[in-house]
Amino acid sequence: GEIRCAGDTIVIGLAADSGCGKSTFMRRLTSVFGGAAEPPKGGNPDSNTLISDTTTVICLDDYHSLDRTGRKVEGVTALDPRANNFDLMYEQVKALKDGIAVDKPIYNHVSGLLDPPELIKPPKILVIEGLHPMYDERVRDLLDFSIYLDISNDVKFAWKIQRDMAERGHSLESIKASIEARKPDFDAYIDPQKQYADAVIEVLPTQLIPDDNEGKVLRVKLIMKEGVKYFNPVYLFDEGSTISWIPCGRKLTCSFPGIKFSYGPDTYYGQEVSVLEMDGQFDKLDELIYVESHLSNISTKFYGEITQQMLKHADFPGSNNGTGLFQTIVGLKIRDLFEQITASKASATLEATKA
Ligand code: ADP
Ligand code: G6P
């Protein structure tokens, strides 16, 4: 009989509010997949797309149905589903997954207008990143794996201040006001998506310094759903046990306030999960190998791969703490997932050929 070769594209969803580290995460992810992703050559210089040999990252802002003026006129924010075209998002992600190229619109972040579309060809790995990858049920069902970056308000505030005040000259008051203005729609439309995520990276203020409000030292949790096909959660020492580990001492240099890891089973929105947590930060990044050697199910291809990745991108934000560590681990898990799915499709095709 006829062998219909469905597209081999796997689709990953990455949800987060803007300014919460999605582009940093994408750079770590594409590096694990074997090459930095670049904007499309010769296209619109304001394209939001990134392309590497294996991976295409598209930004879901491109599915805004209302441009900046339209949102103002209608009185809706970019977070509001009414400002976004989920029918087109679904159609195009589905087409790409089926191996069909699409003409995707471009939302121009500079002008606030919708630019003429760009051609997107089906990649091996398609990442859809933005505010709503898990909002629409049809799009959600196309995802082979989903991640939610959950940045707590205090930390979001500290990051925004750092970026918008230091780099963009905004005032403290205007930053506070813009976070407050987004909050109702954020709570209504963005935050609820985390219940659907296969992995959540939650970023909180440290508990190692009493009443810390600087937001510099972070407590980061990697929440991993149990029972997801092709995804085996990472564990520390003993799978399923509850562990608390302070690695500081002879083998790991820790200055104040130190480092604390925790691991164990938990529930999250009524579902069974494993949670790995790191509070504090590394003094010497190459000593991360000591921590790495105590983690299992990390899907590395050689001893020390996590440490190597972290050292390679030591200049990215979060490289000395759990944000960088867990983003790197999620990247390795996705590479593993991709390889398992590809292998299972290949053997299914072989079976079909025999029949
Ligand atoms: P997005 O793509 O979601 O807008 P970026 O990756 O560009 O976010 O990050 C936005 C800003 O947030 C960075 O310039 C940096 O100031 C801050 N930031 C992001 N990730 C981290 C992190 N892990 N630790 C500290 N600051 C971070
Ligand atoms: C993009 C971002 C949103 C941001 C918006 C700016 O869509 O993803 O997070 O709010 O641009 O919208 P504005 O209406 O202020 O131009």
Query: Is any atom of ligand 1 closer than 6 Å to the C-beta of 22?
Result: yes
Residue 6 to residue 10: CA distance in whole angstroms: 11
Query: Are 133 and 226 within one domain?
Result: no
What is the mean pLDDT of the segment spanning 226-240? 96
Are 10 and 125 spatial neighbours (Cβ–Cβ below 8 Å)? yes
Is residue 160 in a domain? no
Residue 206 to residue 217: CA distance in whole angstroms: 6
Query: Are 123 and 246 within one domain?
Result: no
Query: Is any atom of ligand 2 closer than 6 Å to the C-beta of 221?
Result: no
The ipTM, to two decimals, is 0.91
> In this structure, which amino acid lies at residue 177?
A
What is the mean pLDDT of the segment spanning 255-261? 89
Residues whose CB falls within 8 Å of the CB of residue 57, separated by 6 or more in sequence, listed in order: 26, 30, 37, 49, 50, 51, 127, 129
Query: Is any atom of ligand 1 closer than 6 Å to the C-beta of 20?
Result: yes
Is residue 168 in a domain? no
Q: Report whether pLDDT(338) > 50.
A: yes
Q: Note the pLDDT tens digit of each residue in 81-124.
A: 999 999 999 999 999 999 999 999 999 999 999 999 999 999 99
Query: Which ligand places an atom closest to the C-alpha of 161?
Result: 1
pLDDT tier, 1 (very low <50, low <70, confident <90, very high otherwise): very low
* Boundary residue ending a domain (121, 148, 175): 148
Average pLDDT taken over every residue of the chain: 92
Query: Is any atom of ligand 2 closer than 6 Å to the C-beta of 78?
Result: yes
The number of folded domains in the chain is 2
Query: Which ligand places an atom closest to the C-alpha of 22?
Result: 1
Residue 99, domain CATH: 3.40.50.300
Q: What is residue 49's predicted lDDT score, i.e. its pLDDT?
A: 96
Query: Is any atom of ligand 1 closer than 6 Å to the C-beta of 323?
Result: yes
Domain that holds residue 48: 7-148
Atom 12 (ligand 2): residue with closest C-alpha? Answer: 78
Ligand 1: residue of 24, 29, 60, 148 to mutate (most ligand atoms within 8 A of CB) is: 24
Is residue 308 in a domain? yes
List, in sequence order, the alpha helices (H) in the chain: 22-32, 68-74, 86-97, 137-140, 153-160, 172-185, 288-292, 305-312, 322-354
Is residue 153 in a domain? no
Query: Are 214 and 318 within one domain?
Result: yes
